[in-house]
């Protein structure tokens, strides 16, 4: 129930990155799939201000509710993570509303996942509307070893959330987008 991970920028194309990961013996665990995430918080933003997350993720026909506790950010990001499958996402949204939690920030990504049969860690490739990122999730030792195998320097490690990466990207690009969805980013790029 503890998530340990890093993100990192990927400068290869998705095909080249996939070949690079597979060349090290990692095999496809889940093919490229759209993940749509919706964060929830109360009107005062208490979850965000305490570095906690309540997220509803949709992956195909599957819906997953996730609670993430406050993160410890050292070289890696580590935090409590509790997940459960949801059979009726619309009913869950009503329950959350009745408890005072409103939908907030949304983000999307096409995620491809890789694993080795003899390892518990996972490598993901995330194609987002604001760039291409990798995630390496597992024990701290495994993360560092896997990053070295991939030729990744520790200086490239990112422990920010996608929301934090979005707001940094938004400042750099002066984008008017309010969320990391493919539609919102495309709309913000359109001329007035």
pLDDT tens-digit series, residues 48-86: 999 999 999 999 999 999 999 999 999 999 999 999 999
CB atoms within 10 A of CB 63: 19
User: pLDDT of 114-124, one tens digit each?
Assistant: 999 999 999 99
Residue 192 in this model has a pLDDT that exceeds 70: no
Which helix (DSSP H) or strand (DSSP E) does residue 14 occupy?
helix 14-22
Average pLDDT on 132-153 reads 96
Q: DSSP string of 70-139?
A: PPEESSSEEEEEEEEE-S-HHHHHHHHHHTT-EEEEEEEEEEEEEE-TT-S-EEEEEEETTEEEEEEES-
Q: What's the pLDDT score for residue 177?
A: 94
3 falls in which pLDDT band (50, 70, 90)? very high
Separation of CA 137 from chain center: 11
User: pTM of the full predicted structure?
Assistant: 0.93
Q: What's the pLDDT score for residue 190?
A: 77
Question: What's the CATH code, domain 2-189?
Answer: 2.40.320.10
Domain boundaries, the chain: 2-189
Question: Among all chains, which residue has been given the structure tokens 């609670």?
Answer: 67
Q: What's the pLDDT score for residue 191?
A: 76
Which tokens hold the place of 156? 């490239």
125 falls in which pLDDT band (50, 70, 90)? very high
pLDDT: which is higher, 142 or 188: 142
What is the percent of the chain with per-residue pLDDT over 90, rounded to a whole number?
A: 96
- Evaluate whether 178 touches 184 at the Cβ level (below 8 Å): yes
């Amino acid at each position: 129930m503890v998530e340990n991970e890093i993100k990192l920028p990927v400068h290869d194309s998705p095909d080249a990155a996939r070949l690079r990961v597979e060349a090290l013996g990692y095999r496809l665990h889940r093919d490229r799939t759209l993940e749509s995430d919706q964060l929830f918080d109360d009107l005062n933003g208490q979850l965000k201000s305490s570095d906690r997350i309540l997220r509803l993720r949709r992956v195909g026909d599957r819906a997953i509710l996730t609670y993430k506790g406050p993160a410890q950010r050292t070289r890696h990001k580590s935090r409590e993570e509790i997940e459960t499958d949801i059979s009726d996402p619309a009913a869950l949204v009503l329950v959350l509303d009745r408890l005072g939690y409103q939908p907030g920030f949304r983000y999307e990504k096409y995620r491809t996942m890789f694993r080795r049969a003899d390892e518990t860690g996972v490598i993901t490739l995330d194609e987002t509307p604001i760039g291409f990122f990798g995630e390496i999730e597992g024990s701290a030792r495994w993360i560092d070893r896997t990053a070295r195998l991939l030729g990744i320097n520790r200086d490239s490690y990112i422990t920010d959330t996608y929301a934090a990466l979005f707001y940094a990207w938004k400042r750099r690009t002066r984008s008017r987008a309010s969320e990391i969805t493919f539609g919102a980013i495309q709309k913000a790029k359109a001329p007035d």
